[in-house]
């Protein structure tokens, strides 16, 4: 990729569709707008199903798409649904107004059942295409069984299901599957159509010259098809308790650290089968994007393990990770090219930096972290000396740049006065311009910063569980095209 610019915007935030954005016209319109304005990269968060709070970083499946993204209009256009969906659509609300996850899931339930009811009308060629696709998806059967069992068990976590299902007894599941063929067909059809629709989006992006920049969490949720069906690969006891959980140690920001609660990996088991699960997971994601951000990259070198019964992350300890082996094998799988980006934020050791640099992975620089008065601050624009970086104003976990400025102490503002063109009327574009000027090959701005929005439009605030993941572009935002054009023009000015 040549010197370029991008925008961070998750598909849930796309306008022009009920509930949230989809892999249909909302994504197509967005890509066309980017291309028209000369913006070369679309970055988004994981495309996996979210948890009960809407977070895509704690998914019930590492391999599936989020069913919320399924576009019903495209399904009707392609002959997979009847064209009478008005009664369902008329009652939907906009995600921008309020988070209504039950409503989003009710849409999925409706589409699932409708696809099954309409399936018998499909021709033999279509059915064969579907069957062939299903046979190639090693993860699909476990995913669909897990999601249906979850529904039938009132959305309880798998360790609270009847024991024969909780322990993933394959003999019992074989009998259960015979009685639930219609329900499993629905889950499979939803994932097939999501895959079809996203591959169409990917082809359009390629035709328009736009790179798709994805994201994959390091850990997976305990309450997931991945852990349920591969318990031996994770720190799970036979009684389903977690004996080692993930997190990060106490630091400047938190006296007790951060306790995430995911089971950590049993690396010895992964090594025994040449890291097959990890390699397939990365391969699945790289089928969907051009390059991929590996969240919490530092845990590939070593990870903070906290005893399962602890309530904070204080009493954890560092354990080594086989990152070098995993990256070597993934690089081999990718034909010698490793299209990964290291999320290398936080307290990063020289060993983590060496692992990143040995595999020539781009790292991340966040401008909101730069201006603390320390001339050696690695996030300062003048300290970003080579091009193998991706520079951001902020990420989905940060305040918006307008929110950051409003909360900044006056003495810190004075330290960067000479960098700001209009100090008295600061906008996010001051930080965007600074990022564009850097040597980094890629500069990315969150969409909220292009619109100069305050923290009421923040996507996520780590450590909180309310009012996250729900921000959406307003369909009444009439200056959107104007803002994208201004961003594209600035990119051209800095040869991006």
Residues marked as catalytic: 295, 343, 397
SS3 8: strand
DSSP character at residue 232? G
Query: Which of 340, 298, 334 shows the shortest CA–CA distance to 319?
Result: 298
Q: Given CA atoms 419, 5, 379, 399 in this order, what sign does their dihedral have?
A: positive
CA 319, CA 420: separation in Å to the nearest integer?
Answer: 44
CA 364, CA 77: separation in Å to the nearest integer?
Answer: 41
- Sorted by sequence, the CB contacts under 8 Å of residue 230 that are 6+ apart come out as 277
Hey, what are 171's tokens? 């003999």
- Sorted by sequence, the CB contacts under 8 Å of residue 107 that are 6+ apart come out as 18, 19, 68, 72, 88, 92
DSSP H/E element including 33 = helix 25-36
Is 250:278 a contact under the CB 8 Å cutoff? no
- β partners of residue 212: 42
Total residue count of the chain as it appears in this document: 496
Q: What are phi and psi of 366, to 5 degrees?
A: -110, 115
Is 309:363 a contact under the CB 8 Å cutoff? no
């Amino acid at each position: 990729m040549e010197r370029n610019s991008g925008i961070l915007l998750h598909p849930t935030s796309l306008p022009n569709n009920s509930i949230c954005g989809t892999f249909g016209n909302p994504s197509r319109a967005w890509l066309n707008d980017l291309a028209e304005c000369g913006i070369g990269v679309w970055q988004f968060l994981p495309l996996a199903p979210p948890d009960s709070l809407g977070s895509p970083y704690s998914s019930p499946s590492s391999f599936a798409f989020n069913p919320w993204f399924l576009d019903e209009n495209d399904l009707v256009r392609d002959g997979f649904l009847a064209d009478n969906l008005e009664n369902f659509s008329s009652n939907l609300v906009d995600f921008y107004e309020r988070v209504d996850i039950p409503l989003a899931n009710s849409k999925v339930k409706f589409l699932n059942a409708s696809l099954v009811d309409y399936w018998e009308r499909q021709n033999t060629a279509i059915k064969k295409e579907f069957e062939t696709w299903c046979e190639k998806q090693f993860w699909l059967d476990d995913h669909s069984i897990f999601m249906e069992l979850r529904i039938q068990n009132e959305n309880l976590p798998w360790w609270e299901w009847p024991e024969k299902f909780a322990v993933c007894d394959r003999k019992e599941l074989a009998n259960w599957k015979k009685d639930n063929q219609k329900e499993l067909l629905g889950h499979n059809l939803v994932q097939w159509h999501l895959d079809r629709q996203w591959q169409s989006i990917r082809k359009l992006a390629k035709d328009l010259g736009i790179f798709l920049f994805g994201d994959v969490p390091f850990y997976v949720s305990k309450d997931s098809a991945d852990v349920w069906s591969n318990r031996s690969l994770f720190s799970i006891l036979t009684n389903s308790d977690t004996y080692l959980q993930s997190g990060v140690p106490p630091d400047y920001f938190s006296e007790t650290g951060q306790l995430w609660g995911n089971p950590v990996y049993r690396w010895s088991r992964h090594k025994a089968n040449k890291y097959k699960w990890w390699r397939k997971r990365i391969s699945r994601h790289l089928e969907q994007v051009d390059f991929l951000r590996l969240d919490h990259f530092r845990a590939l070198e070593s990870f903070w393990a906290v005893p399962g019964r602890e309530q904070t992350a204080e009493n954890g300890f560092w354990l080594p990770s086989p990152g070098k082996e995993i990256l070597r094998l993934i690089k081999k799988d990718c034909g010698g090219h490793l299209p990964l980006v290291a999320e290398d934020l936080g307290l990063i050791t020289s060993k983590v930096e060496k692992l990143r640099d040995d595999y020539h992975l781009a790292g991340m620089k966040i401008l909101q972290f730069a201006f603390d008065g320390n001339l050696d601050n690695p996030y300062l624009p003048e300290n970003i000396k080579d091009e193998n970086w991706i520079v951001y104003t902020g990420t989905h976990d940060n305040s918006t740049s307008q929110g950051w400025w409003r909360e900044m102490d006056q003495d810190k503002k004075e330290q960067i006065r000479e960098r700001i063109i209009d100090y008295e009327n600061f906008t996010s574009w001051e930080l965007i311009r600074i990022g564009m000027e850097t040597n980094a090959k890629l500069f990315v701005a969150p969409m909220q910063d292009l619109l100069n929005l305050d923290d009421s439009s923040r996507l996520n605030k780590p450590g909180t569980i309310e009012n996250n993941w729900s921000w959406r572009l307003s369909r009444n935002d009439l200056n959107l095209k104007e803002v994208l054009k201004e961003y594209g023009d600035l990119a051209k000015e800095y040869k991006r």
